[in-house]
Amino acid sequence: MPEAPHFEALQAMNPFVAERLSLLDPMERAWHPSDYLPDLSKEDWREQLEALRASAAGLSDAALVSLVGALVTEEALPNYSIALNRIARDETGTCDHPWAKWMRGWTAEENRHGDLLGTYLRLCGRVNMRSVERTTHELIARGFDPRTHPDLYCGLIYTSFQERATSISHANEARLAAAQGDLFLAKICKRIAGDEARHESFYTQAMGEVFRTDPNDAVLAMKTMLRTLIVMPGQFMTDGRDPMLFDHFAVVAQRAGIYTFTDYAQIISHLVKVWGVEKISVSGEAARAQNYLCKQGERYMALAESVDANLKLQPKVSFDWIFGREV
Ligand SMILES: [Fe+2]
Ligand SMILES: [Fe+2]
């Protein structure tokens, strides 16, 4: 099998990656889900649990559905590790080159997100956990195609985009939870958003280095990624009842302001800006790609209003995750 495009270029970045392993939480200072959850081994566990459940009592169905969608997406972490290993090439599972170390450290940090959100949702007693679990199970089994194949640069663009998207959506969920009186959940979502922002910084810096060393192919890869909408990691989710579950969840999350089309457009504009796409010096096909990319954020922004209007027209849908209630 031929080597994936840009395999060598990414391998040459190992020293660059080594210098950025500090973007991972140092092991001795790492946070853990238990830091944000009731301690059931303590005498006052009932009071702690009651406090959590009272805090969650005011969450709207839209907030719950958005949160479950975020949880399921986090829980499908094995899918993303498989995808990332195309770049990291941890052939043995314990390789000690920097890309492999980054990938395992990143996986360990991401693993906290699903763990924390899942435990919180179970303890709060407001969602149908079996239905949520079934959705996760099926999503992992169905797999995930980020449409970054075969160019490894596309993988870095995708991760930069997704880490920023999750950072924004967890931060918005934190704000919504606080507004609805759930300060427990607000703290949890804020903590997770902070991790995503650190991860975003890593992938964005790595792709920034690619733009510096190989601007021609970098800009072409970005055009390839943005020619169609970036696929969402949870796109194949189903609870066994609703084959359109992901689309229905996405509508709820947009209406609740958790993750909107405007966010999407702004992420694209942001990446174009931080990678200096406008200023790079390229010619021919790459120059045409550059031109296309510089207008893409604005193009999406212009569509945002009609997307919003359309969202308002969408009928309510019943979610098994919240015992069939409609949102
Ligand atoms: Fe995450
Ligand atoms: Fe992430």
Dump pLDDT digits (tens) for 62-118.
999 999 999 999 999 999 999 999 999 999 999 999 999 999 999 999 999 999 999
Percent of the chain with pLDDT over 70: 100
Question: What is the reported pTM?
Answer: 0.97
Which helix (H) or strand (E) is 86 found in, with range? helix 77-88
DSSP labels for 234-295? TTT---SS-TTHHHHHHHHHHHTTSS-HHHHHHHHHHHHHHTTTTT----THHHHHHHHHHH
* 195 CA → ligand 2 middle, Å: 7
Q: How confident is the model at residue 312 (pLDDT cuts 50, 70, 90)?
A: confident
Q: What is the pLDDT of residues 29-47, one digit of tens each?
A: 999 999 999 999 999 999 9
Which helix (H) or strand (E) is 16 found in, with range? helix 14-19
Q: What is the pLDDT of residue 141?
A: 96
Gap between the Cα atoms of 327 and 322, Å rounded: 10
CA 48-49-55 angle, to 5 degrees, is 90
Gap between the Cα atoms of 13 and 16, Å rounded: 5
Gap between the Cα atoms of 249 and 280, Å rounded: 39
* 47 CA → ligand 2 middle, Å: 33
Q: Is the pLDDT of residue 178 over 80?
A: yes
Collapsing DSSP to helix, strand or coil, 200 comes out as helix
Q: What is the pLDDT of residues 201-242, one digit of tens each?
A: 999 999 999 999 999 999 999 999 999 889 899 999 999 999
Q: What is the pLDDT of residue 221?
A: 97
Q: What is the pLDDT of residue 47?
A: 98
Q: What is the pLDDT of residue 309?
A: 86
Contact 223, 292 (CB under 8 A): yes
CA 31-32-34 angle, to 5 degrees, is 130
Ion ligand 1 nearby residues (CB, 5 A)? 74, 110, 113
Peptide bond before residue 150 is cis, with ω within 30 degrees of 0: yes
Gap between the Cα atoms of 19 and 144, Å rounded: 30
Annotated catalytic residue within 31, 97, 151, 224: 31
Other beta carbons within 10 angstroms of residue 244's beta carbon come to: 11
First to last CA, the chain: 48
- Please name which of 292, 287, 302 lies closest in space to residue 226, comparing C-alpha atoms: 292
Gap between the Cα atoms of 6 and 286, Å rounded: 16
* 165 CA → ligand 1 middle, Å: 10
Kindly report the average pLDDT of the chain as a whole number. 96
Q: What is the pLDDT of residue 95?
A: 98
Contact 131, 239 (CB under 8 A): yes
Cα dihedral sign, 301-306-307-312: positive
Q: What is the pLDDT of residues 248-280, one digit of tens each?
A: 999 999 999 999 999 999 999 999 999 999 999
Q: Which residue type, as a one-letter code, is found at position 84?
A: L
Q: What is the pLDDT of residue 241?
A: 95
- Please name which of 212, 207, 219 lies closest in space to residue 292, comparing C-alpha atoms: 219
8 is a catalytic site residue: no
Q: Is the pLDDT of residue 164 over 90?
A: yes
278 is a catalytic site residue: no
199 is a catalytic site residue: yes
Structure-token match 């090439």, residue found: 89
46-319 is classed CATH 3.90.550.10: no
Collapsing DSSP to helix, strand or coil, 47 comes out as helix
Which ligand has the minimum distance to the alpha carbon of residue 162? Answer: 2
Phi and psi at residue 323, to the nearest 5°: 60, 35
Q: How confident is the model at residue 59 (pLDDT cuts 50, 70, 90)?
A: very high
Q: Is the pLDDT of residue 150 over 80?
A: yes
Q: What is the pLDDT of residue 214?
A: 97
